[in-house]
Amino acid sequence: MPEFIHRRWHGLHMILAFVLLAVLTVLLYFYHWMYLLFGGAAIVGLAIYAWYAEKSFREDFIGYVAKLTYRIRRAGDQVVQRTPVGMVLYNEEMVVVWHNPFSGELLRMANFIGAPLLDVLPVLAGKLEADGSHTITWRHRVLQVDVYAKERLLFITDITEMTALKERYEAERVAIGIVHIDNLEEVTQGMDEKNHTLLLAEVTRTITDWAATYGMFIRRLATDKFLVVTDVAHLAKLQEDRFQILDRVRELTIRQPIPFTLSIGFGAGGPSIPETGQMASSSLEIALGRGGDQAAVRIGEKLTFYGGKSNAVEKRTRVRARVVSHALRNLILESDQVLIVGHKFPDLDAIGSAIGVWKMVTWNEKRGYIVLDESNPGIDKLVNLIQDDETLASALIAPDEAYYLCTPRTLVVMVDNHRPSMAIEPRLLQMTRRVVVIDHHRRSDEMVEEPLLLYIEPYASSTSELVTELLQYQSGDARLNRLEATALLSGIILDTNHFHFRTGVRTFEAASYLRRHGAEPEICLQLMKEDLHQFLRRMELLRETELLPAGMAVAAGSETREYEQLLIAQTADSLLALDGVKASFVIARRPDGLINVSARSWGDVNVQVIMEQLGGGGHLTNAAAQLSETTVAAVREKLRHVLAEYAAQAMKGEDGK
């Protein structure tokens, strides 16, 4: 019997009770000796009764415990035998020594006692050394195996139905999409009403047929916009087919001077329907910001792009430029100062556009500074000219000084870049929420959070072109000086490769405005000239060119040599000029230790999508990426893999037409 129960009968309370009785009996003796006799007899009788009662309780208690133990053991045996969880015991030699009947049913083996455990479940190899839970697939069943290594015990649960239910739940989650016709106004401009209606009806029918083919609900929201509702399973089919509707609509109107293109934004995996709809809207916004003619799909936190085979159509209206210019002027006037930030390793476009924004600030009689960490060969000549201009030179400040000057009322203007990680001084974006972004690169999934003003126009040749347009709508008769106009023009010339790429009517209008303000094309050419040493180094890179299938050319520098970013970009331009090359890629190490990849194409290959696979971005015909903590050989091998995947997807798309 347990000690705590034994104390109930022979504890201190019982001893005290008998002592008290004995004391009372002795006291009664003083009255009469017979009281002592009767009291003593009563105490003895009570003691004997207590002893027999305790003995009887002990026997009953032991019998009850034995019966309860039997019932529990029997119930435990029944649980072990009948529970729908497999139990397997094995020894140190990994041999099964016991298992319950359900294990045999689960593994479809009547009796495997004595068999090596890894012969029974070979998928557990390497998973038995430590405690843990593992999900395995065994004979078309999904099993959860809980390992208790110290006890050498396995619990096996069949979760096939639960897994199927979970997959069905995920597949049937709502996906919301928005389809937008990018250039309805541009395509139909000048058309008569009949042809306009017929063409739009044909495009609408193609879109609705596409939705019906994939089992999606579709409703028109506006003349150029449709709402699509489906589920994740059908969205996966769209992704597998890589949104062929983009090619179908473009080819349907290919005979038009400007063919129709679509931008599609999908959202799925949101915690609620409204948030999923918001994800679709933001995906469409990103697709449009990247130039249109593509689909952006956000599932949870993952953003994927499809399409993007055509250049952005140049906008024919200056309304937005005027509105942005006036909005930027108001933001400048409301700020205590303006800090203008370009991207790391700035080029002539970044410096030229920064000078243009700085000029806008001075016109509005506010203090403005251009943040520049250090010069590089691509901008050395321009920086030398700036140093000769006392006013402009005083506007150049280092990143640490900018960080010290920044206040919550400071306006930070990012030019030629919209990715915080690429900014010269990302800390400024944490110091103030007053941020403006002006950029011409196609929008990536990394973006400044909640900028006050966002002006991303992928159709533009350069950020210098955008800033030049904004300058024209500032009030007053102020003019640019010769150096400021030349800096802006050099940015345009650099990014268009002397007006050969992404050059539209607005590009020449901006160049004409700058020329009227004294821009010197001859100085622009001088700024971009390379010396004999640079020329020989470029030839050194070109010697290592490898021609890949589908017109891809890849050149890579030596692991031990360093090349300036401008030189790498110029080598990519030179490589693209070779006959039969549709896209060129140049890989080399920069002086800061990063591996730079510059990519160029004639438009048949979307180098922006390729560079995004390496963590970079850019345009359809002009893109780049910077990688750290790697080697030139490793990047070259990774690029080959990405190019092979791109070629395979392009081939699949051609076969699916």
Per-residue pLDDT band for 75 (boundaries 50, 70, 90) equals low
pLDDT for 619: 77
Contact 459, 407 (CB under 8 A): no
Contact 497, 576 (CB under 8 A): no
CA nearest neighbour of 396 among 382, 377, 416: 382
| Two tokens, residue 304 | 């994927």
Which residues 6+ apart lie within 8 Å of 436 measured at CB? 328, 331, 411, 412, 413, 414, 451, 452, 453, 454, 455
Residue 309 has pLDDT above 80, yes or no: no
**Residue bearing the bigger pLDDT, 383 or 64:** 383
Tell me the C-alpha distance between 301 and 442, whole Å. Answer: 20
Q: Give, as one character, the DSSP assignment of residue 553.
A: E
pLDDT, one tens digit per residue, over 105-122 is: 888 888 888 899 988 888
What residue type is assigned to position 636 of the chain?
Answer: R
pLDDT for 297: 93
Which residues 6+ apart lie within 8 Å of 24 measured at CB? 39
pLDDT for 524: 93
Dihedral sign for Cα atoms in the order 634, 637, 641, 642: positive
pLDDT, one tens digit per residue, over 1-21 is: 555 555 555 566 666 776 777
- Which SS3 state, helix, strand or coil, does residue 173 take? coil
Rounded average pLDDT over 340-359:
94
Q: Which residues pair with 455 in a beta bridge?
A: 438
Other CB atoms within 10 Å distance of the CB of residue 11: 11
Tell me the C-alpha distance between 235 and 279, whole Å. Answer: 14
Per-residue pLDDT band for 354 (boundaries 50, 70, 90) equals very high
**Residue bearing the bigger pLDDT, 41 or 543:** 543
CA nearest neighbour of 551 among 634, 647, 625, 619: 647
Rounded average pLDDT over 33-37:
70
pLDDT for 196: 81
pLDDT for 359: 95
- The gap from C-alpha 279 to its chain's centroid, in whole angstroms, comes to 13
Q: Read off φ and ψ for residue 222, nearest 5 degrees.
A: -155, 180
pLDDT for 418: 92
Which residues 6+ apart lie within 8 Å of 495 measured at CB? 349, 440, 461, 462, 464, 501, 502, 622
Per-residue pLDDT band for 474 (boundaries 50, 70, 90) equals confident
CATH 3.10.310.30, applies to 532-656:
yes
Distances (CA, A) of 29 to 19, 37, 39, 219: 15, 9, 9, 110
pTM above 0.75, yes or no: no
Residue 57 has pLDDT above 60, yes or no: yes
* Count of positions (residues) in the chain: 657
Q: Where do we find the tokens 């080029």? A: 347
What class is the 86-164 domain?
Answer: alpha beta
pLDDT for 653: 58
435-439 β-sheet, strand order: 396-397, 368-371, 338-341, 411-415, 435-439, 453-456
Fold of 177-307: Alpha-Beta Plaits (3.30.70)
pLDDT, one tens digit per residue, over 213-230 is: 999 999 999 989 999 999
| Two tokens, residue 236 | 């996966």
Helix (H) or strand (E) holding 651: helix 632-656
- The gap from C-alpha 165 to its chain's centroid, in whole angstroms, comes to 28
CA nearest neighbour of 418 among 531, 289, 307: 289
Tell me the C-alpha distance between 412 and 396, whole Å. Answer: 15
pLDDT, one tens digit per residue, over 136-178 is: 888 888 999 999 998 899 999 999 999 999 999 988 999 999 9
pLDDT for 476: 65
pLDDT for 54: 74
Q: How many Cα atoms occupy the beta-carbon half-sphere of 580 within 13 Å?
A: 6
| Two tokens, residue 244 | 């062929």
Per-residue pLDDT band for 316 (boundaries 50, 70, 90) equals very low
pLDDT, one tens digit per residue, over 368-393 is: 999 998 888 889 999 999 999 999 99
Helix (H) or strand (E) holding 496: helix 482-496
pLDDT for 77: 63
Contact 517, 487 (CB under 8 A): no
pLDDT, one tens digit per residue, over 556-580 is: 999 989 998 888 988 998 899 888 8
Average per-residue pLDDT in the chain?
86
pLDDT for 321: 86
| Domain layout of the chain by residue ranges | 3-81, 86-164, 177-307, 319-528, 532-656
pLDDT for 24: 73
pLDDT, one tens digit per residue, over 403-461 is: 999 999 999 999 999 999 999 999 999 999 999 999 988 887 788 988 999 898 888 88
Distances (CA, A) of 330 to 326, 359, 360, 361: 6, 15, 11, 11
CATH number of 319-528: 3.90.1640.10
Q: Where are the alpha helices (DSSP H) in 344-440?
A: 348-363, 380-387, 390-393, 399-405, 428-431
Dihedral sign for Cα atoms in the order 231, 232, 233, 235: positive
Rounded average pLDDT over 476-502:
88
| Two tokens, residue 626 | 């910077």
Q: Can you give the C-alpha Rg of the chain in angstroms? A: 40
Other CB atoms within 10 Å distance of the CB of residue 218: 18
Tell me the C-alpha distance between 99 and 286, whole Å. Answer: 57
